[in-house]
């Protein structure tokens, strides 16, 4: 399937294109290990805000040898407390556009997935790691603290104790360890991540849009609510999705043996 450009104005640190119903966003600061500066974060916000109609999923990846080595520390030198709060808020808004955006995002991870790069990856819905990937949160050794939503998202993936250990000791986890502890859900050989991520993104894009919406928007909130509230939200979301015309058409196709069956892969 051919790729084509996307009409979204982005900084030079990002590149976007589409392949059918999947949009691809790449970090292109390979010379800086894809460190995330303010311009890049604003560009990420712009991209996810302006996704065109017809896109059903996003693939997020990094060029060069690394996904992202995190925050561009050169931007921290002259920032006071007020500016620091605003800066963290900038990251929060951008990454919220990923986690609670229009469509699901698949992140492909390789090389350094460190600090803010790990926070960016955590905002995605599915994470594919190549065996070259490694994970770290070096903020403690640099006298700073996570500011891209890591305190919220990462403990839900790996637990408070493990994140605390990473920040206090500078511990680095391998791709295999990250897979075992829940940072990623797919592990592939070096050079195979992009193809696997694209395959998954295309598969996700074929789902009913309302079902994808429910998984992105309702599931995380249900999981964090008290049981009674969660059950009530699930009942509503289940009823709404079943009543959708596309769901009815898909169910009819399945019952008439025109739809795919679940098979072991």
Which residues are known to be catalytic?
A: 119, 139
**Cβ contacts of residue 195 below 8 Å, gap of 6+?**
none
Parallel, antiparallel or unpaired: strands 134-136 and 173-174: antiparallel
**Euclidean distance between CA atoms 205 and 124, whole angstroms:** 15
User: Can you tell me whether residue 5 is helix, strand or coil?
Assistant: strand
Cα angle 11, 13, 19; round to 5: 85
> Which token pair is 75?
């931007």
Rounded Cα–Cα distance for residues 81 and 68 (Å):
25
CB 158 within 8 A of CB 167: no
């Amino acid at each position: 399937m051919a790729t084509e450009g996307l009409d979204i104005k982005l900084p030079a640190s990002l590149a976007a294109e589409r392949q059918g119903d999947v949009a691809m966003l790449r970090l292109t600061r390979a010379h800086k290990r894809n460190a995330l500066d303010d311009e890049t974060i604003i560009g990420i916000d712009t991209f996810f805000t302006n996704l065109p109609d017809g896109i059903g999923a996003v693939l997020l990846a990094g060029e060069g040898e690394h996904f992202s080595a995190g925050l561009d520390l050169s931007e921290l030198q002259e920032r006071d407390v007020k500016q620091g709060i605003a800066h963290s808020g900038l990251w929060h808004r951008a990454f919220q556009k990923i986690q609670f955006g229009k469509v699901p995002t698949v992140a492909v991870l390789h090389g350094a997935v460190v600090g803010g790069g790990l926070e960016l990856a955590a905002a995605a819905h599915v994470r594919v790691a190549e065996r070259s990937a490694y994970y770290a949160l070096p903020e403690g050794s640099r006298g700073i603290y996570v500011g891209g939503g890591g305190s919220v998202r990462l403990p839900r993936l790996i637990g408070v104790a493990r994140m605390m250990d990473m920040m206090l000791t500078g511990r680095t986890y391998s791709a295999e360890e990250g897979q075992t502890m829940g940072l990623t859900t797919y592990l592939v050989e070096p050079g195979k991540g992009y193809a696997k991520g694209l395959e998954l993104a295309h598969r996700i894009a074929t789902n009913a849009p309302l079902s994808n919406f429910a998984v992105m928007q309702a599931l995380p909130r249900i999981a964090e609510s008290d049981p009674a509230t969660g059950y009530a939200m699930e009942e509503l979301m289940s009823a709404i999705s079943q009543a959708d015309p596309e769901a009815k058409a898909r169910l009819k196709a399945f019952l008439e043996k025109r739809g795919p069956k679940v098979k072991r892969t």
